[in-house]
Amino acid sequence: MDGRSRLRGSRRERGPGPGASPREETSLSADAGVVPGPPGPRKSAAEWTAVVLAAGRGTRMRSSRPKVLHEVAGRPMLALVVEAARGAGLRRTVVVAAPESRAQLAAAAGGGDPERLRVAVQREQLGTGHAALCAREAAEGSEHVLLTYGDLPLLSASTLAGLMERHLSRGATLTFLTATLDDPTGYGRVRRREGRASGIVEERDADAATRAEREVNAGLYAARAEWLWPALAALEPAPRGEIYLTDLVGRAAAEGECVETWQLRDPAEARQVNTRAELASAEQALRARVRRELMESGVTLVDPATTFVDVGVEVGPDTRLRPGVHLSGRTRVGAGCEIGPNAVLLDMEVGERCRIEGATLRSSTLRDDVEVGPYCVVRPGCVLGERVHLGSYAELKNTQVGAGSRIGHFSYVGDSEVGAEVNIGAGVVTANYDGERKHATRIGDGAFIGSDTTLVAPVTVGAGAYTAAGAVVVRDVAPGERVAGVPARVLRRSGDGGRGERSAVDEEV
């Protein structure tokens, strides 16, 4: 599987939308030539904790599911944000959750190791500043804190790394993310004094001159922990009783602290998802990013607009994805494959040089040089060895197939072990369910299963055995035996020839 490409995808707390342009004169921009990638382990990264605010209920989504658990490109939004933080080198993440969603959010974020992921609970919805303060105990021991939101599915590890690097290199107390928009309507404007950020002005509070400014707050913050926690505790609530993170900027500037900014190269990264329409827009944007990364890594997409690949899917170079292909979940595809058209793969492990036509495959493994014909269904638990061939309309479930075996058209093989170089003809069925339990079928190396054979499990067909077309096998067939009929009986050969000679029925099998 070497050579695969792994795909990574203000008080009014929205991120910038499309139509943004870089503003290099006010802050160090990625467009200005500083484009840090996700850093490896380093001392500074170990000193950080990411705090992901995810306690909002997302009422505008009209859903009983917590907003951050809605998926974008196959992954919950919260998982995408946590993975971006880890990709930026942060070793510990604190997720701030509502009490009723604590367990769900922990599972979605990959909980299990308390040193890597902790969940803090915000029991009352008192604003983003209050939510951040709820993480204080869980983030104890960190020198720096990165504050972000769980509904930012387009956020990249390189953006977080850039913000952290800016913060550390300038020795800042507080560093926040900005963007310059052609149309900044609805966003808090960044207020500057002598070129330095001094606060954030909400649009409703801005005069005409401030409204004309195009630099807006993107809503992500890096802060020195020893200053952050007391500052959050000291913030005054707004008239409706909520405490906002945006007030941190003005407070830090008023106290004479060093306040820095980092400007996004792609302002769409900070676009928050609050509605179903925004969810669809984020889905479109992230899938476009995934497709671009695939093509840059050497994968051919015949029609990118009709190719759907989840974040985290791996595809090897010189693989060709034809129209209508869906690669989902934890799918990994090797080099030199041909997939589609209209193939659906979920949680699949696919070797090199495989050919998969318009089939559906789930939670199974294909070794190298496997061929899967149109309208086949490979259900969970299957392993297809090298050079296995499936015809059309074949269905497999929980079945291991040895190298070089062939399974013909309109066949069902379930709960089976099929050896190497076996031929299974068209219309073969393994009758694996007796109405109460599932039973196994075992077929030895080199066996020949004739068309329309029914194998009534539990049953074993030995190596080199032969079943004639239409046989109903209800008892084991010994290696090398030839059977035919309903029920199948062992054939007594009339001569010493091969499979095609006339034979007499000897005994029932």
Alpha helices by DSSP H, listed for 88-169, are 102-108, 128-133, 157-169
The reported pLDDT for the residue numbered 88 is: 93
CB 441 within 8 A of CB 457: yes
DSSP 8-state code for residue 44 = H
Looking only at the bridges linking them, the beta strands covering 314-315 and 5-6 are antiparallel
Looking only at the bridges linking them, the beta strands covering 75-76 and 71-72 are antiparallel
> Domain 29-266, CATH 3.30.43.10 — does that match?
no
Tell me the per-residue pLDDT of 243-277, one tens digit each, with 9 for 90 and over.
988 899 999 999 999 999 999 888 888 788 989 99
Tell me the per-residue pLDDT of 445-454, one tens digit each, with 9 for 90 and over.
999 999 999 9
The reported pLDDT for the residue numbered 1 is: 44
pTM for this model (two decimals)? 0.84
Per the residue annotation, which of 70, 167, 326, 409 is the catalytic one?
A: 409
CB 417 within 8 A of CB 396: no
Name, in order, each residue with C-beta under 8 angstroms of 414's C-beta and a sequence gap of 6 or more: 379, 395, 396, 397, 398, 399, 430, 432, 438, 441
Q: At residue 497, does pLDDT exceed 80?
A: no
The helix or strand, by DSSP H or E, that contains position 344, with its residue range, turns out to be strand 344-346
The structure tokens 């907003």 sit at 67
For residues 352 and 201, the model is more confident at: 352
Instruction: Name the class of domain 277-508.
Output: mainly beta
The reported pLDDT for the residue numbered 139 is: 93
Integer Cα distance of 371 and 356 in angstroms: 6
The reported pLDDT for the residue numbered 508 is: 52
The structure tokens 């984020």 sit at 282
Catalytic status, residue 130? no
Tell me the per-residue pLDDT of 323-352, one tens digit each, with 9 for 90 and over.
999 999 999 999 999 999 999 999 999 999
Intervals of CATH 3.90.550.10 along the chain: 29-266
Integer Cα distance of 259 and 262 in angstroms: 11
Intervals of CATH 2.160.10.10 along the chain: 277-508
The number of residues in the chain equals: 509
The structure tokens 């129209």 sit at 323
Give per-residue burial for 352-380: e unless 16+ CB within 10 Å, then b. Answer: bbbebbbbbbbbbbbbbbbbbbebbbbbe
Q: At residue 7, does pLDDT exceed 60?
A: no
